[in-house]
């Protein structure tokens, strides 16, 4: 697997969303670097970026591929994991499978219900339209407008730098295979119902019409040491639409993990 590493210290594994690649999570790197002591592993999941899909044909296969890669790269070291969107679903499974070694779990607009028709989501909403931002997006305007809740030139620039390249690089045939078997074999909170007590962060967005926030919050009793947040004025790109708040929440999660580890 293609893994871009930054920094040294305790491993922190970052898993991106469906059809994207590791670049969508690079805007978080300044806050991770500032915290100090974290070896950041930005993973390209199978069929994304620089990682060939091989024979991966389901989300469960993606989980296995990630866990195999972690065994090769970090062995039995304790680690933390953060997942965005689809990567949040993968991160939840990895965190439960390897629970004794997991220092913390964070999801950013994470998938908690695989089947879209069963998700509790708000209607698609644009709180602020910005014609100049759409013009700046150029040929990517339709892709940008599909998810932007608060359109702005800063958001467009972040989209073009961190989201658009992954969309263009994706192996669409492989993604179609995985999408046909998108659900995990069993939800990790159900398969492993003992409360997950490592420090966590579940960051959701009020206007996220892709995964919503209600399904994530329905799992809050399983995560007694987790901060649950729903941010207004953001959709599925919450980390790009609300970068300052996202950075503050991630910094708090990092600090809580350090305190918990003693």
How far is 9 from 31, CA to CA, in rounded Å?
A: 15
Let me know if residue 34 belongs to a domain: yes
How far is 168 from 150, CA to CA, in rounded Å?
A: 23
Let me know if residue 143 belongs to a domain: no
Let me know if residue 136 belongs to a domain: no
Q: What is the pLDDT of residue 86?
A: 98
Residues in the chain: 262
Let me know if residue 146 belongs to a domain: no
Q: What is the pLDDT of residue 108?
A: 98
Structural domain boundaries enclosing 174: 3-121+170-261
Let me know if residue 188 belongs to a domain: yes
Chain segment 37-86, per-residue pLDDT in tens:
999 999 999 999 889 999 999 999 999 999 999 999 999 999 999 999 99
Let me know if residue 155 belongs to a domain: no
Spatial neighbors of 251 by CB under 8 A, at least 6 apart, are 31, 34, 35
- For the residues 165-179, what does the mean pLDDT come to? 96
CATH label of the domain that carries residue 223: 3.40.50.1820
Q: What is the pLDDT of residue 105?
A: 99
- For the residues 130-141, what does the mean pLDDT come to? 96
Let me know if residue 221 belongs to a domain: yes
Let me know if residue 22 belongs to a domain: yes
- The domain total for the chain is 1
Q: What is the pLDDT of residue 168?
A: 95
Spatial neighbors of 4 by CB under 8 A, at least 6 apart, are 22, 41, 42, 44
Position 262 confidence tier, pLDDT thresholds 50, 70, 90:
confident
- Residue 13: beta bridge partners? 41, 81
How far is 170 from 16, CA to CA, in rounded Å?
A: 12
Chain segment 73-131, per-residue pLDDT in tens:
999 999 999 999 999 999 999 999 999 999 999 999 999 999 999 999 999 999 999 99
Judge contact between 161 and 140, C-beta under 8 A: no
**Residue labelled with tokens 């620039």:** 157
Q: What is the pLDDT of residue 195?
A: 98
């Amino acid at each position: 697997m293609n893994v871009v590493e930054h920094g040294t210290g305790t491993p922190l594994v970052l898993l991106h969303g469906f059809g994207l690649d590791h670049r969508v999570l690079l805007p978080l790197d300044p806050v991770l670097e500032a915290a100090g002591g974290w070896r950041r592993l930005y993973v390209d999941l199978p069929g994304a970026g620089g990682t060939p899909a091989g024979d991966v044909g389901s989300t469960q296969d993606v989980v296995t591929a990630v866990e195999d890669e972690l065994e090769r790269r970090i062995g039995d070291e304790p680690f933390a994991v953060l997942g965005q969107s689809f990567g949040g679903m993968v991160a939840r499974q990895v965190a439960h499978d390897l629970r004794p070694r997991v220092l913390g779990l964070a999801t950013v607009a994470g998938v908690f219900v695989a089947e879209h028709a069963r998700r509790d989501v708000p209607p698609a909403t644009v709180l602020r339209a910005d014609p100049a931002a759409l013009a700046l997006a150029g040929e990517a305007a339709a892709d940008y407008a599909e998810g932007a809740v608060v359109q702005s030139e800063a958001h467009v620039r972040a989209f073009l730098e961190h989201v658009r390249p992954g969309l263009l690089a994706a192996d669409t045939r492989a993604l179609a295979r995985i999408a046909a078997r998108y659900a995990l074999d069993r939800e990790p909170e159900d398969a492993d119902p003992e409360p997950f007590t490592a420090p966590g962060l579940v960051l959701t967005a009020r206007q996220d019409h892709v995964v919503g926030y209600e399904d994530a919050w329905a799992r809050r009793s399983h995560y007694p040491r987790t901060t649950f947040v729903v941010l207004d004025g953001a959709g599925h790109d919450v980390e790009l639409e609300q970068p300052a708040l996202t950075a503050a929440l991630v910094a708090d999660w990092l600090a809580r993990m350090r305190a918990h580890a003693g």
